[in-house]
Amino acid sequence: MENSADLPWRIGVYTVERKLGAGGMGTVYLARSPGGRAVAVKVARPELAADPHFRERFRAEVEAARRVGGFHTAPVVDADPDAEAPWMATAYIPGPTLAELIERQGPMDKDQLRALGAALAEALQAVHACGLVHRDLKPGNIIMADDGPRVLDFGIARAVESTRLTATGAAFGTPGYLAPEQAQGDEVGGAADVFALGAVLVAAAGGRAFGTGTPMGLMYRSVHEPADLSALPGELRALVAACLSKDPTGRPTPEALLGSLMPNPNPSPSPDPVPDPNTFALATPARPRVAPPVPVVPPADPGRVDEPLRPAPAGPSRSPRVITLLIVTAAATSALVGGLFALTRQGDDNRGGGPSVTASESRRANSRASAPPSTPAASRVSTAPKDRVTVVVTAKSGRSWISAKDHNGLVLFDGLLDDGESKNFTDKNQISLVLGDASAVQLVVNGKEVPNDFQPGQVRRLTYGRGDY
């Protein structure tokens, strides 16, 4: 039953007062408990509610989110995964979002940025300790309360992500804050949240780590280009550059970030030397778990235009600076393995993901990828062996970012296709794709064209195997 303002009268035992926001997950309402306490109730969208897999994951994630403590989160107080429309209630935290605060008051200064970074690191420390990964940390998910920043939207991110990846292959998260592993569809862990934290600090300083523009452009730059750190104070650039490392094993842990951002309780009587923005040593926590620091890549020109995008360097054409970065990064992380990597949008503010592949594996796979024949796509597919899966991707509307992997997760191609350009991928079991703008490409799978009903700007992760089409 709904009231005169087209709002539900009640959600569970909570009386609805007004709508707070809406997004890809659902709608959020301000409501009151029977005792008069304010809560924020998030109700899932109908298409999610109809998916039993979502309900199963939602139930598990809510139970995990209940264990998240600390001073910098909004605690989960109630939930009903079995309701006609599943919902979750958290304590209502009054205050503007970080996005709203920046818009209203302008960029933060050095001390404010350090305090914000420490508060977010403490929140992530509590969340990761419970086995959770936020996956969508951004200014719109951070409430600037009177007693400090609070991070919202735990307990539902992984449920939505799992459902979308399984049901539709849609990407998950917010381009511009997504770690490279998320954008490329790899497994995601806590290091992805640290990447997002770095991008949040750039935004709080008044910048954009990966510029502005289409989701495809933002995601492509987060994977292939250095972040623009020019808005940050010089002494914070090396720290944030480490957070924004392309390699998740090169990023500091939340514990290490706390040690680096907290004020020194025993300052040295002698003056400290002026920090070099091109070097950075993480403070050592009680039990260090962080890889050695990653050198800073000089920021991109803050005045760059969003289009056209630069194609990813490959093979011998890499510049000396990029080669040096890859060599140093590989040396710094040679004792570590893997990567940790999922894209939804939090509903409170509508403004503001197989095993990972190492950089050397990606370069070897890219060097083995052959150039596409000049024959038409359909004729190329028709000659493919019947015991394999063959996918032809053709850019049909401007430049398109495409990433393709074989059944072992090795990268076959990761870059831009010009309008009319095609790539042909063949594997004995399956081909996995990330389409930066799914509506701008044509797909032919095993000789049959795949109908394209994607909306412009949608990012899609798709997997095709033998027997498909």
351 inside domain: no
Range of the domain at 446: 359-465
Both 127 and 237 in one domain: the answer is yes
Please count the other Cβ atoms lying within 10 Å of the Cβ belonging to residue 69: 12
The per-residue pLDDT for range 25-55, each reduced to its tens digit, is 678 899 999 999 999 998 988 878 888 888 8
Residue at 348 is within a domain:
no
Band (275; pLDDT cuts 50, 70, 90): very low
**Residue 356 in this model has a pLDDT that exceeds 60:** no
Do 87 and 204 lie in a common domain? no
Which two three-digit tokens encode residue 386?
């019947």
**Does residue 283 have a pLDDT over 90?**
no
Please say if the pLDDT value at position 289 is more than 90.
no
Task: Please state at what angle helix 190-204 crosses helix 254-261, rounded to 10 degrees.
Answer: 30
Which of 120-124, 154-158, 236-240, 343-347 comes out lowest in average pLDDT? Answer: 343-347
> At what angle are helices 190-204 and 234-243 packed, to 10 degrees?
150
CB atoms within 10 A of CB 36: 7
In angstroms, the CA 25 to CA 139 distance is 17
Instruction: Please indicate, yes or no, if residue 61 is contained in any of the structural domains.
Output: no
- 358 vs 58, higher pLDDT: 58
Tell me, what's the pLDDT at 363?
Answer: 39
Same domain, 306 and 180: yes
Q: Sorting pLDDT into bands at 50, 70 and 90, what band is 457?
A: confident
Element (H, E) at 424: strand 422-427
The vertex-70 CA angle with 248 and 103, nearest 5°, equals: 70
Question: Which pLDDT does position 344 carry in this prediction?
Answer: 33
Give per-residue pLDDT as tens, 411-448: 999 989 999 999 999 999 999 998 888 888 999 999 99
With a CB cutoff of 8 Å and minimum separation 6, the contacts of 151 are 72, 73, 74, 120, 123, 124, 127, 134, 137, 141, 142
Domain-embedded: residue 344? no
Domain boundary among 91, 121, 152: 91
Whether 83 and 109 map to the same domain: the answer is no
397-410: average pLDDT: 89
Read off the pTM. Answer: 0.65
pLDDT of residue 309: 41
The reported pLDDT for the residue numbered 76 is: 87
327 and 417, same domain (yes or no): no
The pLDDT tens digits for 94-135 are 999 999 999 999 999 999 999 999 999 999 998 898 888 888
- Which pLDDT score is estimated for 349? 38
Is 374 contained in some domain?
A: yes
Total of domains in the chain: 3
Confidence of residue 461 (pLDDT cuts 50, 70, 90): confident
Top pLDDT among 316 and 56 is at: 56
Does the pLDDT at position 324 exceed 50? no
Asked if pLDDT for residue 149 goes beyond 50, the answer is: yes
In terms of Cα–Cα distance, which of 409, 383, 380, 401 is closest to 392? 380
Q: Are residues 39 and 129 in the same domain?
A: no
Residues 301 and 418 in one domain: no
Residue 317 burial (CB count, 10 A): 8
Task: Indicate whether 84 and 150 sit together in one domain.
Answer: no
323 and 373 together in one domain: no
- State residue 13 phi and psi, 5-degree precision: -95, 10
CATH of the domain at 326: 1.10.510.10
In this structure, are 367 and 440 located in the same domain? yes
Per-residue model confidence (pLDDT) at position 13: 96
What residues does 450 pair with on adjacent strands?
443
C-alpha separations of 193 from 67, 121, 153 in Å: 19, 9, 13
Give exposure, 377-400, as e/b (b: 16+ Cβ within 10 Å): beebbeebeeeebbbbbbbbeebb
* pLDDT at 437 (0 to 100): 83
Q: Does the pLDDT value for residue 258 go beyond 70?
A: yes
Highest average pLDDT, of 61-70, 215-224, 230-239, 290-299, comes from 230-239
Same domain, 108 and 208: yes
* Residue 58: predicted pLDDT: 82
Query: Rounded to whole angstroms, how far apart are CA atoms 440 and 463?
Result: 18
Residues above pLDDT 90, as percent of the chain: 40
* pLDDT for residue 137: 92
pLDDT for the residue 3: 52
Q: Is 340 domain-assigned?
A: no
Whether 159 has a pLDDT exceeding 80, the answer reads no
The answer to whether residues 382 and 328 belong to one domain is no
Which range, of 150-164, 181-195, 454-468, averages the lowest pLDDT? 150-164
Residues 284-296, mean pLDDT to the nearest whole number = 42
Q: Which positions are catalytic?
A: 136
342 inside domain: no
Q: Let me know if residue 64 belongs to a domain.
A: no
